[in-house]
């Protein structure tokens, strides 16, 4: 089969980081977890390092080790998942800074790697990761003697600026950390946009770097073009695809496209999704299968070699809206079979 082409615009990521950095009033890091949201941490992280980022964030130590390999020595790599059992050797060899989430993680870290850098993650109300107020109160004196590199928490509703949870978590975070001698971080992309009260010493932009909401001013980062394998004429009453899910009401021209749910195109996308041939919108027909989709190209005089799924005509957030999800899920689902290229290096 022909290979679909996924293009990542590194210049756009660079511009998005600069814009969020300009809003931050403090040090601006970068979240490169999940392979830079599916776009390639081995290319994104070094580019951001050259741009001046000195603090990166990953979800797991394995991700952190991969980013360290790409970056080399120097920048700090903070691991949101903290110090799990069996992680000590990789934390040490890759020079990672785990964000400790519990008393158990704190004890594990100081026993396995005495003197090794660490940070603290606090739960300010999200009830997901981090030490709760009582746990932190019991551990705070011991932890601060070890000089944590960063104390952070995470906002649950930062993409909704008027949500009362934002102010609630801000108050809780201040109550838990005011007066402590360590850098603090509360804001990811949404928190940056909430304003300087949420910025503290370090911000952690993630999704905004990659061109998606809630950063409305972000430059588009991703384009995805899917190759046309074959076109055919379909007669009135004939069906297309599995289950006879689509039946033609009139004669039409149908293109079979090389992509499917194995490439991250979820089956739920089928009813509302369009592809683009130049300026012509082409409806996706029938079911999405593992490797193939079918598209109505009746209105296209000269069918191109590939159709656009993501690009100037359709963003990751617009595609996400078709199935009531978010741009994060679209980006991180993009499959491994795409031929990836990088613009702007």
Catalytic residue among 92, 196, 242, 272: 242
Q: Work out the number of other CB atoms within 10 angstroms of the CB of residue 22.
A: 9
Binding residues for substrate: 128, 290
Alpha carbons 11 and 47: distance in angstroms, whole number: 9
Alpha carbons 314 and 296: distance in angstroms, whole number: 17
Binding residues: 128, 290
User: Is 147 among the catalytic positions?
Assistant: no
Check if the beta carbon of residue 220 is closer than 8 Å to that of residue 1.
no
What does the DSSP 8-state code read for residue 212?
A: -
Q: Work out the number of other CB atoms within 10 angstroms of the CB of residue 213.
A: 19
* 187: helix, strand or coil: coil
User: Is 261 among the catalytic positions?
Assistant: no
The number of helices, as runs of H, and strands, as runs of E, in the chain is: 11, 19
What does the DSSP 8-state code read for residue 281?
A: E
What does the DSSP 8-state code read for residue 131?
A: B
- Rounded to whole angstroms, what are the CA distances from 38 to 32, 41, 111, 141? 9, 8, 35, 39
Active site residues: 33, 242
């Amino acid at each position: 089969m022909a290979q679909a082409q996924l293009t990542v615009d590194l210049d756009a990521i660079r511009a998005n980081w600069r814009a969020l950095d300009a809003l931050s009033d403090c040090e601006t890091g970068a979240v490169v977890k999940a392979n830079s949201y599916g776009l390639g941490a081995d290319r994104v992280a070094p580019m951001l390092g050259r741009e001046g980022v000195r603090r990166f964030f990953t979800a797991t130590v394995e991700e952190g080790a991969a980013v360290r390999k790409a970056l080399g020595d120097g920048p700090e790599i903070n691991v949101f998942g903290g110090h799990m059992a069996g992680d000590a050797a990789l934390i040490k060899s890759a020079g990672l800074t785990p964000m400790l989430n519990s008393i158990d993680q704190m004890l594990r870290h100081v026993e396995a790697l005495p003197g090794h850098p660490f940070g603290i993650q606090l739960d300010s109300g999200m009830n997901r990761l981090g030490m709760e107020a009582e746990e932190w109160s019991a551990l705070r004196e011991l932890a601060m003697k070890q000089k944590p590199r960063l104390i952070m928490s995470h906002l649950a509703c930062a993409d909704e600026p008027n949500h009362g949870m934002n102010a609630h978590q801000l108050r809780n975070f201040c109550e838990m950390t005011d007066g402590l001698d360590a850098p603090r971080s509360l804001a990811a992309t949404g928190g940056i946009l909430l304003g300087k009260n949420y910025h503290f010493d370090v911000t952690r932009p993630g999704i905004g770097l990659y061109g998606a909401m809630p950063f409305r001013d972000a430059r588009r980062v991703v384009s995805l073009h899917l190759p046309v394998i074959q076109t055919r004429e379909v007669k009135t009453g004939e069906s297309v695809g599995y289950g006879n899910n689509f039946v033609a009401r009139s004669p039409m021209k149908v293109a079979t496209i090389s992509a499917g749910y194995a490439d991250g195109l979820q089956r739920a996308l089928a009813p509302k999704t369009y592809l683009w041939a130049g300026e012509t919108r082409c409806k996706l027909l029938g079911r999405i299968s593992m490797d193939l989709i079918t598209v109505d190209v009746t209105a296209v005089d000269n069918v191109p070699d590939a159709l656009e799924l993501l690009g100037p005509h359709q963003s990751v957030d617009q595609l996400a809206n078709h199935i009531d999800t978010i741009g994060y899920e679209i980006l991180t689902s993009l499959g491994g079979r795409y031929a990836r290229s990088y613009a702007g290096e």
